Amino acid sequence: MGRSAIKSESALRALVQKAAAAAQAASDAAPARKGGSSNAARVAAPAAGEIRIIGGQWRRTKLAVLTRPDLRPTPDRVRETLFNWLGQDLAGWRCLDAFAGTGALGLEAASRHATLVRMVESDVQLAAQIKQLAQKLGATQVEVSRGDALAALQAYPAHWDLIFLDPPFSGQLFLPALKAAQAAVTAQGFIYLEAPEAWGDEALAELGLVRYRYLKAGAVHAHLLKKAEAAPD
């Protein structure tokens, strides 16, 4: 083959590759057909996460949940440790999950036969999803409402045997939530607090609380609290 033929073939190959690249770019930029999905559509679609019930009657059950940038389902290890502290049978307990999020904590309590689990979540989509998860599990003792956590804590003084507090880490709700929970929990009840930093004895004492158990797991500081007048076991 002569030099001129080789040059012609190389030029033709370059033109074909350029045309193919242009066609692919046009295809990526085109709107998706009905029933299909473009790259942009795949990125924009909400991604679903997953939680797993650690113990109780629904042990190992996996549940699909929505994801949010500031939504942090309590890690499996932390939930397992928490219910080792509390015990595996919560029959007769009334529980309030004040910042329900994915519902992981409240559903764990229901799985362990808690008599009542009230779950409060301000996000309408998350609240609706928790209701669906409770229905899927057949958790008839679970009550879900969309509302304000502080208002829910203040509604029933000295009423709850177990209160879950897992406010947004970026917010300023920890202090008012702890104050409200101290008044809402029974004399021998427990408050579970999940926070981005440890709460010391002095700060808790000012709120009438004592630290009963504590765990640090990654960025999570997990506290199990009791009223100060209720001496730890």
pLDDT tens across 56-74, in order?
A: 999 999 998 988 877 888 9
Q: Which residues lie across from 227 on neighbouring strands?
A: 209
| pLDDT score, position 230 | 67
CATH of the domain at 144: 3.40.50.150
Together in a domain, 37 and 110: no
| Any domain includes 89 | yes
| Any domain includes 84 | yes
Together in a domain, 29 and 75: no
Residue with tokens 């002569």: 2
Together in a domain, 23 and 81: no
Together in a domain, 107 and 21: no
Together in a domain, 100 and 198: yes
Together in a domain, 205 and 97: yes
- Tell me the whole-structure pTM to 2 decimals: 0.78
Categorize the per-residue pLDDT at 151 as very low, low, confident or very high, splitting at 50, 70 and 90.
very high
| Any domain includes 85 | yes
Together in a domain, 109 and 223: yes
DSSP sequence for 71-110: --PPPHHHHHHHHHHH-S--TT-EEEETT-TTSHHHHHHH
Task: Read off the amino acid at residue 122.
Answer: S
Compute the half-sphere exposure of residue 60: CA atoms within 13 Å on the CB side of its CA.
0
| Any domain includes 196 | yes
The C-alpha atoms of residue 72 and residue 110 are separated, in whole angstroms, by 20
| Any domain includes 208 | yes
pLDDT tens across 11-70, in order?
A: 444 443 444 444 444 433 333 332 333 333 333 333 458 999 999 999 999 998 988 877
| Any domain includes 49 | no
The C-alpha atoms of residue 190 and residue 164 are separated, in whole angstroms, by 9
Decide which of 229 and 219 is more confident.
219
Task: Read off the amino acid at residue 136.
Answer: K
What's the average model confidence in pLDDT over 149-174? Answer: 95
Together in a domain, 18 and 131: no
Together in a domain, 73 and 28: no
Residue with tokens 């998706």: 32
* Alpha-helical runs (H) found in 87-166: 104-111, 124-137, 149-155
Together in a domain, 119 and 154: yes
Domain count, the chain: 2
Domain with 97, as residue range(s), is 68-227
